Homo-oligomer: A and B are copies of this chain.
Amino acid sequence: MTGIDDVDYRILELLMDDARRSYRDIAEEVGRSPPTVSERVERLTEVGVIERFTLDVDRSRLVEGPTVLVDLAVQPGSEATVVEDLTDAPAVEHVIRTVDAAVVFVAHANERDVEELLSETLGDERVREYRVRLVSDRTWEPRLDEETLAIECVVCGKSVEGSDESVALGDRTYEVCCSSCASEIKDQYDALQQAASE
Query: Measuring CB to CB, which residues of chain A are less than 8 angstroms from any residue of chain B?
Result: 4, 12, 15-20, 47-59, 61-65, 67, 69, 71, 79-80, 83, 87-88, 90-100, 102, 104, 106, 108, 133-152, 154, 159, 175
- Residue numbers in B under 8 Å from A17 (CB-CB): 52, 54
Instruction: Verify A54–B54 contact, CB threshold 8 A.
Output: yes
Q: How far is the CA of A5 from the CA of B152 in the complex (A)?
A: 44
Q: Can you give 15 contacting A-B residue pairs, CB < 8 Å?
A: A47-B61, A49-B62, A50-B56, A50-B58, A51-B55, A65-B147, A69-B104, A80-B137, A93-B140, A96-B138, A97-B136, A98-B134, A98-B135, A99-B134, A102-B133
Choose among B90, B136, B148 the residue that contacts A64 (Cβ–Cβ < 8 A).
B148
In the complex formed, the residue of B with least CB distance to A4 is B62
Q: How far is the CA of A128 from the CA of B20 in the complex (A)?
A: 42
Instruction: Verify A54–B142 contact, CB threshold 8 A.
Output: yes
Q: How far is the CA of A18 from the CA of B15 in the complex (A)?
A: 13
Instruction: Verify B140–A95 contact, CB threshold 8 A.
Output: yes
- Residue numbers in B under 8 Å from A51 (CB-CB): 55-58
Q: How far is the CA of A178 from the CA of B145 in the complex (A)?
A: 43
In the complex formed, the residue of B with least CB distance to A104 is B69
